[in-house]
Amino acid sequence: MESQLKSVGKRVPKVDAREKVTGRAIYIHDLKLPGMLYGKILYSKYPHARILNIDTSKAEKLPGVRAVITGFNTPEIRIGFMKDQPVLKKDKVRQYRDEVAAVAAIDPDIAEEALDLIKVDYEPLPGLFDPEEAVKEDAILIHEYDAKGKPLKNNILKLPWRLIAGDVEQAKKESDFIVEDSFRVTWVTHCCMGTSGCIALFDLDNNLTIYSITQIPFLAQNDFNAALKAMGLKGKNTRVINTVIGGGFGSKLDTHVYEYIAILLAYRTRKPVKILFTREEEFFAQPPRQPAIIKISQGCKKDGNLTFREVDMLLDNGAYTSWGATTPSVMMVPISSLYKVPNIKYTARSVYTNNIYAQAMRGYGNPQATFAVESSMDILAEAAGIDPMEFRLINVNLPGEITPQNFKVTTCGLKECIESVGEGLNWKDAKKNKKKKRGVGMSSLIHVGGGARVYKSDGHGMIMKVDDFGKISVITGAVEIGQGSETVISQVAAEVLGVFPEDIQIIKGDTSICPWDVGTHASRQAFVSCNAAIMVANKIKKEILDIAGKYFNVDPENLDIKNRVIYLKDEPENSEKQMPLDKLLRRAHFSKHGTMIMAETFYDPPNEMLNQEFKGNLSCTYAYGTTGVEVEVDTETGHVEIKKYFAAHDVGRALNPMLLEGQIYGAAVMGTGYALTEQLILKQGKVMNDNFLDYKILTAKDKIPIVPILVETIDELGPLGAKGIGEPACVPTAPAIANAIHDAIGVRIKDLPITPEKILKALKEKEKKG
């Protein structure tokens, strides 16, 4: 098979790279429409307060201002996973970033000036910033009523997560070793280099067009249509057009307040309205990854076999609920199914606070959960006196296994991942001849690898159309956020059709043209869109070969296409029975009763929705991987240097090793930031570090010697065997580093990020204890 592949498996450059390196790619920042106005948002001055009055009269009088809107002069639009957030707040504000008013003006400076002229009277209320306080029965209420107007008794979201498999209590009795620990993870934010923005406009019939950077155009269309209905425009439609997107990482899986504000302003002014976030807004008004307090207990037998895993989690939801509130469902993936654990108990609660509301971010809860699980694995291995790598191999997942959550493991290269990372690190030698202040650590991961049925459809629609010149248009609902889905679609389509990737043109980013896709999430895009591409390309190919068969008077089964030429399989050298593809297409088109060749498909992977017990085969295949690091810790400064970094991933098949390695490098560096440097610092609900000087993502000066190791297991359901890779590589980084730090200096840091201050404090405490 390998030697036959012409396009797949090659380091094909990204199809959009030339546009991007020349500065020609049009991001939302670069787009202007005639007559366009600029919208700006006024945010709350308090984390929790009653709104007494909003006076917009002065702002309205400012020359150049075209509209000033508040919750009092616009229809109420409620958004979010539990519809608990009004777009413009009028009774209460519940977080500093609450939107209380907005302005549209002829330029951004005037809009900004108008914001200063809006006077809002507040009655401050006490705030709740600690989730452990917020869950208490007598805590003040952040929401007095739910979306349907039903009174609420406490701040706990009515989204209880509970997964039970086997008998944890019995397993505890039968365990030889049990460990119990508590871990904390905090807010981190996506830091897309392109800030958020959109342009909304209405046509004369009140249909909406929105230029957007969403990762979920079709779900966004649904959300925006609901907003139109709330605005009294029932039956009107939304067209979502994607510009080039300056980074995603899960930040665009929800529709956001600013988009609805742009819609309201556009409707009010009947002009296109653009809202573009400043970097400060991107930090404080764009929901970050959820913080969590994670209690975990695990046990094993003397021989190292895991007996149970019990996890209880408290998540800080913040003031409102996004799709990210469903991350506990994906947290279940590693909790139930990373390594063989027969008995599982997992409970999670999400609680309202007056902190910034959170959403999903790359890994969708998996990095948080895996930090606890894999840190605990090392603690348990130590308690049992077993080498941590050996301990993982004893419990390794294998093909054919059915996990406690009813995941059906098909292909699984976890063993090879662990072993290859161990080899890279010279694990045994590093452990035996331990150098001072140096340590090695590893962590594995499981993630959905074939999409995930978190929505009622996990499908992907695709249309393919062939022109008179042998060029192929692929019309797809896939959203490109930098990961390269368009490139791999081109490679796969070219492979099937016997043409070259440059013969393929991707048409995308328009809900009025492209077929439905659930969105770029769950590391699913290459998996679903390439599967769709194979299906639809095969249909096209069959049509072409049927026509060619008639022309040559041969069985179409005996024909194939290679290098843009149709040829006879039996006699590949027979030039009499060859025809360039474009020539045949013209002949088919311009003959009597001519025909155009096009085809469509809708591919929905055989994934199951989790049942009421949160069990089911969420994804038709799972991605595995192991990250291993060697660190050196400076015990004077607390600085951690990563000396070696191996990232082994079961990728099914590398459709494009260059892009795949790009996903691994980027995720590994993002994961290292999560481990060591990144945190959004909130003080009484206020983001204190809303800039790149104080929120530290890694720079080119942070040298991390990442070595990707690609383990190909050729998955039966994957497109040519491939699995998802977008999220996995950032999942195991933090626990691998935490484990290596412990190996190096004997202290275990249980809350992220592992800053030099925390290391020095822990070393001091260790010294005190002697």
Indicate the burial class of 641 (C-beta count within 10 angstroms; 0-12, 13-18, 19 or more). middle
CB closer to another protein out of 82 and 631: 631
Q: Give the nearest distance from C-beta 702 to another protein in angstroms.
A: 8
Question: Which residues contact residue 677 at a Cβ distance below 8 angstroms, ignoring those fewer than 6 apart?
Answer: 696, 697, 698, 753, 755
DSSP lists the bridge partners of residue 7 as none
End-to-end CA distance of the chain: 61
Q: Of 62 and 698, which has the nearer Cβ to another protein?
A: 698
Site for another protein in 638-677 (CB under 8 A): 658-659, 661-662, 665-670
Q: Which stretch binds another protein (CB under 8 A): 164-172, 478-486, 491-499, 624-632?
A: 478-486
699 interacts with another protein by CB under 8 A: yes
Q: In the complex, what is the shortest distance from the CB of residue 38 to another protein, in angstroms, rounded to a whole number?
A: 13
DSSP 408: B
Q: Which is nearer to another protein, 107 or 203 (CB)?
A: 107
Query: By CB under 8 A, is residue 483 in contact with another protein?
Result: yes
Please check whether residue 474 is in contact with residue 493, taking contact to mean a CB–CB distance below 8 angstroms. yes
Least distance from another protein to the Cβ atom of residue 212, Å = 15
Q: Which segments of 357-432 does DSSP mark as H helices, in order?
A: 366-384, 388-394, 414-424, 427-432
The least distance separating another protein from the CB of residue 544, rounded to whole angstroms, comes to: 31
Q: Does 681 bind another protein (CB under 8 A)?
A: no
Q: Which two tokens stand for residue 340?
A: 């063989």
Least separation in angstroms between residue 51's CB and another protein is 30
| Binding-site member from 550, 691, 714, 716 for another protein (CB under 8 A) | 691
Q: How far is the CB of 229 from another protein (least distance, A)?
A: 33
User: In this chain, which of 18, 428, 550, 569 binds another protein, going by CB under 8 A?
Assistant: 18
Does the protein bind another protein through residue 700 (CB under 8 A)?
yes
**How many alpha carbons lie under 13 Å from residue 716 in its C-beta half-sphere?**
8
Confirm or reject binding of residue 27 to another protein (CB under 8 A).
yes
Binding residues for another protein, rule CB under 8 A, total 56
Q: How far is CA 409 from CA 337, 446, 521, 768, in A?
A: 10, 11, 21, 47
Which amino acid, residue 694?
A: D
Contact with another protein (CB under 8 A) among 41, 135, 192, 711: 192
Asked if the peptide bond before residue 753 counts as cis, ω within 30 degrees of 0, the response is yes
**Does 199 engage in binding with another protein (CB under 8 A)?**
no
- E strand or H helix that includes residue 679: none
Q: What whole-number distance in Å separates Cα of residue 558 and Cα of residue 494?
A: 20
Least CB distance to another protein at residue 658 (A): 4
Binds another protein (CB under 8 A): choice among 226, 230, 704, 763: 704
Minimal distance, residue 481 CB to another protein, in Å: 6
Tell me the CA distances in angstroms from 218 to 397, 508, 645, 694, one per residue in order: 36, 12, 39, 36
CB of 13 to another protein, least distance (A): 5
Q: Which stretch binds another protein (CB under 8 A): 26-34, 289-297, 349-357, 559-567?
A: 26-34
Q: Which residue type is seen at 526?
A: A
Among the listed residues 73, 206, 237, 278, the single contact to another protein using CB under 8 A: 278
Residue 736 makes contact with another protein by CB under 8 A: no
Contact segment (CB under 8 A) with another protein among 371-379, 400-408, 589-597, 693-701 equals 693-701
Q: Does 136 bind another protein (CB under 8 A)?
A: no
- Which x/- pattern over 211-250 shows residues binding another protein (rule: CB under 8 A)? ---------------------------------xxxxxx-
36 is a contact residue toward another protein (CB under 8 A) = no
Contact status: 451 vs another protein (CB under 8 A) = no
Residue that is written with structure tokens 């600085």 in the block: 639
3-state secondary structure of 491: helix
The single residue among 63, 303, 611, 693 that binds another protein, judged by CB under 8 A, is: 693
**Token pair in block for residue 248:** 């995603």
Residue 418 CB partners (closer than 8 Å, separation 6+): 389, 392, 393, 396, 442, 444, 626, 648
Q: Does 484 bind another protein (CB under 8 A)?
A: yes
Which residues fall within 8 angstroms of residue 725, CB to CB, at 6 or more apart?
Answer: 523, 526, 623, 649, 651, 660, 663, 664
Q: Minimum Å distance from CB 29 to another protein?
A: 6
Pairwise CA distance, residues 296 & 310, whole Å: 6
Choose between 247 and 756: whose C-beta lies nearer to another protein.
Answer: 247
Binding status of residue 711 toward another protein by CB under 8 A: no
DSSP letter at 151 equals B
Q: Are 389 and 427 in contact (CB under 8 A)?
A: yes
Using the contact rule CB under 8 A, the part of the chain among 25-33, 126-134, 143-151, 611-619 near another protein is: 25-33
Size (the chain), residues: 770
- Side chain identity, residue 26: I
> Site residues (CB under 8 A) for another protein?
11, 13-14, 16-27, 29-30, 190-195, 244-249, 278-279, 481-484, 658-659, 661-662, 665-670, 691-693, 697-701, 703-704, 706
